[in-house]
Chain A
C-alpha cells in the first residue's frame, strides 16, 4: 500500500485540498447570505438566494484555476525550479491536463446549480411584482425605489414583463446566457471523440473561452444582487420592523423606509491574475515561434517516418522533451507536438514524424519526400518551433536504475535518452548517477526498426570499445510476425548477430512477461529506487502501473512515470 502512496499520494492530496476549498467556499458564502442585511431579499427569494451565491463563489475560484494548468511555459519553468527540491512535486505538474479537465467539470456542475437557483429567483421576483396587494410584504418591498430607481430591492421594476424578457435586458442575464452557451459549446467540442478525430474543431471552439472570461467579468457589473445598505440596517432593523411594513417611513415609527443597494462585482479580483499570466504565456509562445528555424537535413525512413534536423539559435533542451511545430505554408493556425529525438549534447535538434494525417502528409510533400532529386536548402519550407516543454523523461538521469519501455512510435523520447547516455559516458566521461538502463521496445513490425537500429548498433559498438557492455540492457519484442520470417529466424538462431537488427542482443517475439522482468530487476538491485518510464498505450500503462505497485517491496521501489499528449 505504501507504494501506492508513493505513486499516487501527492495527486490525491492535491485533489482533496481542492475539493476542500470548494466545499469551504460553498458553505461560507451560503451562510454569508443568511445575515440580516439580506433579510428582505430572503423574504422574496427564500434560500434560493444562497443557493445561487454559493456556487457563484465556487465558480470564481474554479475559473481562476482553470487557466493555470494550460500555461505550458510557466509550468515548464516551475518544473525546472521545483525538481531540485522534490522529484515528486515536479512529476505532479505532468498531470496538468487531468487537473484542467477536473476543474472544467466542477465549473459545469456549479454553473448548473447557479442557473437552477436563479430560475427560482427570477420566478419569485416576478411573483412579487404580480401579487398586487398592499398587505403583501414582497409586493411592498418591490415598490421601494420606484421614485429614484436606485434604492430598489427587486431588479424587476414593472409587472408588465416576464422573466425571459428581463433576462435578455439585464447585463447579468445577457452575459449569463452568452457565457453559458460558450461553456456548453466548449464542452461538447472537447469530448474525446471530437478531440481525437477533429482536433481543429476542438481547438478553435475552445477559444470561445475568451468570450467566456469577458462575459464572466462583466456578469456582475449590473449589481443585480441587492441587500440593505449598512447605514439602513442601523436605523431599520429588519428583524424588528418586518411585521410593521404598513407603517414604514410614516411619522412616529422607528422604522424608516429601508434602502437597498447592489453588491459590487467581485469576479475580476479572482480572475485578473490568471488572465494576465495566460496573456503572458501566449506572448511567450508567439515570441518563441518567431525565432528563425532552419531545416538542415531531411531523411525519409521506411514505415513512413520523416526525420527533420533543424537548427534554432539559442535553443536549449533536456532529454525527452517535446516541441510544438508549425508550418505556415501548410496551416497558419495549427501547432502539432513532436518529441525531440536529438540529445542535448548535439548541435542540432531533430524530430521523427510519422506520416498519419493531412498535416504530416503535407509536410512530407513540402520537404520533397516524394521527389528523388535533392532539394536546395532554400526551397525547404519555413517552420516555427515552440518549446521545448518538459515531460517525465527529463527525470531519467535522477534514478540509479532505470526501466525504459517504448511501444512503437513511443520509443522516440528514449532515442533522445540513449543518445545522451552515449555522449555523457563515452565522450565526456562524466560521473553519471544512473548506473544501469533496461530498455524495452515493443514493436509490431520490423520495418520501423531501421532508424533506431542504427542508433543501437553504434551504441553497442561504443559500449564494447569502452568495455561497458553491462550498462545498457535492451530487449526488443516483435509483437507481430509472419510465419515465413519466424521459420527463417528459427534456422538462424545460432548466428551471433540477430538476423533482423544485426545487434548482439537478440530480438524476441510476443510480449514481455512483465512479472518476470520486474522480479529479476528487483533481485538484481535491492534497496534502490527504480524509475519506470513508459511512452505507449493506456493498456500498457495500467499493466505497468500495477506491476510497479505490486513489485515495490521493502527496499526496491518502482516509481512509474507516464508520457502522454
Chain B
C-alpha cells in the first residue's frame, strides 16, 4: 500500500460517469424530453468515454489487474499515442465532454460525475502519471551462454555401473523420486 496512483481511481470514476451519462441520455431520448438533443449527445459522449476508459492502465508499482476482454480496447487506445497517454489531454477532454450535459436534467448527473473524473485525472497528470498499455509479455529469446558454442567432446567421468544403481529396499520410504541420483557410500 504505497502512494495512491490517482489515475486508478479516476479511471473507475470516469467509467461509472460514462455509464451514467449514457443512461441519462437514453432516458432523455426515449422519453422525448425537451432538449433531447443534449441527451443524444450524452449517449454518444457516454459511450465514447466508456470505450476510452475501459482498458486499465498498467500500474507504476505493483501488479496490474486487467478488465475482462480489454485487450482489443488496449490496442485501439494505444494507437492514438500521446493523445491517450497524456492525462492532461484526458482531463481536458472529459471536462469538455461533460459541459453539454449540464443543459438538460437527465444528463446533469453524468455531467457532474464526469467533471469529478476530470478533476481526478488532472491531479493524476500533475503527479506525473501517464497511461501505459497492459500488453501480454513476450518471452525474450533465451540467450545462449558462451560455453554452449563448444560442446564437450568426451562424456563426464562416472563411477562403474554397480555403484550407480539405487538400492531397491531403500526406495519405499522416499517420498518422491529425486531427479538427481544420490549415491550412498557403502
Contacts and interface: CB of A to CB of B under 8 A. Distances in A.
29 contacts: A116-B27, A119-B105, A120-B27, A122-B105, A123-B34, A123-B105, A126-B34, A177-B108, A180-B109, A181-B112, A181-B113, A185-B13, A188-B16, A191-B12, A193-B8, A194-B8, A197-B1, A197-B59, A197-B62, A200-B1, A357-B1, A486-B178, A487-B178, A490-B174, A490-B178, A493-B173, A509-B175, A509-B176, A510-B176
Interface string B7-37: 0110011001100100110011001011000
A529 B23 CA distance: 52
Given A191-B12, A201-B9, A509-B176, A119 B31 contact: yes
B148 to A, nearest CB: 21
A34 interface: no
A391 interface: no
Contacts of B103: 164
A184 B28 CA distance: 21
B13 A167 contact: no
A358 B61 CA distance: 13
A128 to B, nearest CB: 13
B91 interface: no
Given A193-B12, A491-B182, A177 B109 contact: yes
Given A193-B8, A194-B8, A197-B8, A357 B2 contact: yes
B144 interface: no
| Secondary structure dominating the interface of A | helix
A63 B131 CA distance: 37
Contact of B65 (A120, A123, A167, A193): A193
Given A359-B1, A509-B175, A120 B105 contact: no
7 smallest beta-carbon distances between A and B, as pairs? A163-B105, A357-B1, A188-B12, A198-B4, A188-B13, A164-B105, A123-B33
A483 B181 CA distance: 12
A463 interface: no
B173 A358 contact: no
A291 B34 CA distance: 61
Nearest to A163: B105
Interface of B: 1-2, 4-5, 8-9, 12-13, 16-17, 20, 23-24, 27-28, 31, 33-34, 56, 59, 62, 65, 102-106, 108-109, 112-113, 116, 173-176, 178-180, 182, 184
Nearest to A191: B12
A273 to B, nearest CB: 30
Contacts of B9: 188-189, 194, 198, 201
A79 to B, nearest CB: 29
Contacts of A185: 13, 116
B4 A201 contact: yes
A123 B31 CA distance: 9
Nearest to B183: A491
A24 B116 CA distance: 37
B11 to A, nearest CB: 9
For the side of the interface on A, what is the size category? 35 or more
Contacts of B17: 184
Nearest to A127: B34
Contacts of B176: 509-510
Interface in A137-172: 162-164, 167
A189 B180 CA distance: 52
Contacts of B33: 119, 123
A261 interface: no
Given A180-B109, A184-B16, 5 more contacts: A184-B17, A188-B13, A194-B9, A201-B4, A494-B173
B53 to A, nearest CB: 11
Nearest to B106: A119
A43 to B, nearest CB: 18
Interface in A351-374: 356-359
A199 interface: yes
Contacts of B59: 197
Contacts of B179: 483
Nearest to B177: A490
Contact of B12 (A189, A357, A483, A490): A189
A297 interface: no
A184 B178 CA distance: 57
A358 B2 CA distance: 6
Nearest to A190: B12
A187 interface: yes
Contacts of B104: 164
A357 B3 CA distance: 10
Nearest to B28: A119
A38 to B, nearest CB: 21
A187 B9 CA distance: 11
A184 B8 contact: no
Contacts of A359: 1
B20 A167 contact: no
Contacts of A189: 9, 12
A167 B8 contact: no
Interface string A468-495: 0000000000000001001100110110
Contacts of B109: 115, 177, 180-181
A426 B41 CA distance: 76
A45 to B, nearest CB: 12
Contacts of A486: 178
A201 B62 CA distance: 17
A544 to B, nearest CB: 23
A426 to B, nearest CB: 32
A508 interface: yes
Contacts of A200: 1, 4
